[in-house]
Structure 1
Amino acid sequence: TRASLNGNRRSVLIGINYSGLSSPSELRGCVNDVKRMRPFVERLGFPSNEGSQMVLLDDGSTPLAPTMANIRGAIAWLVEGAAAGDALFFQYSGHGGRIQGSDGFHETLCPLDMASEGQLLDTELFETLVAPLPSGCRLTVILDSCHSAGALNLPFLFTGTEGNLKSALAGEAVQMAMSRNWLRDVIAITGCRSDQTSADVGNVDLQFDLQPTARSGAGGALTSAFIEALDGREAAPSYLELLEAIRLKLAEEGFTQVPQLASSLLVDLTSAFSML
């Protein structure tokens, strides 16, 4: 059972619409994703004050824009001094990429200045966001981007199609190359499989039942479904129920993407989902 945490709570929320850019193409909902997520995670217990949260948007409303340097700085800030009992949250909504490397494909995040600075590789994300964490510290990650399933290089990826999700999740964890004594507590919910793209929704009000504070036009399909699945519930759903609810909602609304759950530990998927 994952213990509840009583330490510091820090969060980084990144939303990039790439406004006015031709490459990568402009998105509509990513800044709104963060503006919806921020009050939601605050209700869950993540403070929104400057010492506890960094927000990087490209609409001019935040001190820092989501450039490569600022994203790297925010990740370093998030994990710096992390200790057992701490709860961390990382949200990224923007373009994701998949590029061929000498050692196979890499999943990537695409900063605002990727035309000059390049993409943030999964290997770097693992080394900077995951590897520094001490045992007993929990990190929850929401990646609402294309090709996002493997973007953190976590050792367990729970797979399966909508139809056989329950049986697949009950018995199947794809073990990647990682030692067994690895005790970092990281959960990532990602927009889709590594070979899929994530939908940018025109108007979330029409497709998702969100609390009034969360409504405002375009948004990422995963972010909207994640908030809807958790918001206003008396009791937390299990990891399995949460993933099923998100997948079902997206399938009902006609999205083909299949959100994934990646983990650093072999999680009991029937236990209650908790970020704290």
Structure 2
Amino acid sequence: MSEATMDGRHISCSQCQKQMRPVWTLKEMHCPSCQNLIKLTRYDVRLPTSVDAKCSLKEKFQSKLKCRNSSSSSSSRTSSNRYSVPGSGMTSATKLHPGKRAVLCGVSYKKRKYELKGTVNDVKHMKELLLRTFGFLEENILVLTEEEKDEHRRPTRKNILDAFQWLIRDCRPGYSLVFFFSGHGLRHPESDGDELDGFDESICPVDFTTEGTILDNDINSAIVRPLPKGVTLHALVDSCHSGTVLDLPYVYDIKKGRWLDNRPPSGAYKGTNGGLAICLSACADEELAADTSALHGKMSGAMTSSFIQAVWEKPGITYKQLLKAMQDVVDAANKSNCLNSRILSRFFHAKMSQEPVLSCSEMIAIEDMKFEL
């Protein structure tokens, strides 16, 4: 193992001298060229030049969070659409990326027997990735966790459905949308004939025991079916039984190297209104997702950690390469006994394995198409 000091933008491999960007969430990383393991000795990734260098990232984050919570509380009292559309009433700097929006949802289920420890970390890591790598603006990222003080930012069933409306509202060609969920997922027997396996998949809001889960049918209706031409949606779902949680028509079989038809036997249309919907799920519908502390030192979802590591280490990665890289990271963590199944699913007799799943509203060329948010 070699050691490298981060200057916030690049590090150099001591073996092949390749320049690369540091992975801000990791204590060590592999060189993408020679696979040399590099120990990272600092974690003070340089802040954007617009941020006062004397102010810590934590202080800035807390300050901006307080401002967002204050403004959202005010707007929620005056409008049924409590989340403002990005681009309206914002600064000129904000308008540089008016078409990038994200909903990041992490559910911990605090003080429950099925509490999860890594979901808030997942949201924080995803937010940093969107801000630093893909040019998202803070004002265009809606975070729902139990740590939020604004009651409208808690990951309840109603708030998540409201966030879906905010995400999709007034979209125009060129917009890029992201929905990220880290939490529990469940399966339910279905009776309307639109599931090949006979089960609906769902995500579990914090109040799912009283208000119910959010079914794949609900998610599809909310953010897939209305998606207009020229708009791309990426859903990243780190939960058990999440393989087809968006009910998209096509699922990629990485072992066979081909797309599988997932269109419902009932003939119901599950595609978009001309846009492109892509979903990366933690595991197949019959599988469990896992948490791990192997990658960041703190508990987080194995899917989220492997996704972030793959995207950071390999800029310009294709979708097929991304799936392979994610699987390699999860397999390595599994071999080192660092995976823990998400607790709720232990009550259901599901297969304990995890392979990331790619589903899509159309059959894209994953060998050539580069991943971009």
Shorter-chain TM range is 0.7 to 0.9
Query: Which residue in the other structure is 2:104 paired with?
Result: 13
| Seq. identity, % | 32
Q: Which has the larger radius of gyration?
A: 2
Q: What does 1:95-174 correspond to in 2, within 5 Å?
A: 95-103=184-192, 104-160=198-254, 165=255, 168-169=256-257, 171-174=258-261
Larger CA deviation: 266-275 vs 9-18:
266-275
Partners in 1 of 2:147 and 2:160 — Cα distance? Answer: 16
Query: Which residue in the other structure is 2:304 paired with?
Result: 223
How far off its partner does 1:245 sit? 0.7
CA contact 1:184–1:265 (8 Å) conserved in 2: no
1:205-246 CA-to-partner distances (Å, cap 9, x unmatched) read xx22xxxxxx4611000000000001143x311111000111
Partners in 2 of 1:61 and 1:229 — Cα distance? Answer: 33
Q: Relative to 1, partners in 2 of residues 1:117 and 1:7: Cα closer, same or farther, differing over 3 Å? A: same
Q: What does 1:1-276 correspond to in 2, within 5 Å?
A: 8-22=99-113, 25-50=114-139, 52-60=140-148, 64-103=153-192, 104-160=198-254, 165=255, 168-169=256-257, 171-177=258-264, 178=269, 183-201=274-292, 203=293, 207-208=294-295, 215=296, 217-233=298-314, 235-254=315-334, 256-276=353-373
Root-mean-square deviation (CA, aligned residues, Å) is 2.0
- Divergent runs of 4+, >6 A: 179-182
How far off its partner does 1:102 sit? 1.7
Partners in 2 of 1:181 and 1:19 — Cα distance? Answer: 35
CA contact 1:138–1:275 (8 Å) conserved in 2: no
The code of the aligned residue for 1:132 comes to P
CA contact 1:30–1:94 (8 Å) conserved in 2: yes
CA contact 1:87–1:275 (8 Å) conserved in 2: no
Larger CA deviation: 53-62 vs 13-22:
53-62
CA contact 2:225–2:272 (8 Å) conserved in 1: no
1:115-150 CA-to-partner distances (Å, cap 9, x unmatched) read 110000000100001111101100111000000011
The code of the aligned residue for 2:362 comes to L
SS at match of 2:154: coil
How far off its partner does 1:181 sit? 9.2
Partners in 1 of 2:263 and 2:119 — Cα distance? Answer: 30
TM-score by length of 1: 0.85
How far off its partner does 1:176 sit? 1.4
CA contact 2:105–2:144 (8 Å) conserved in 1: yes
Partners in 2 of 1:154 and 1:115 — Cα distance? Answer: 26
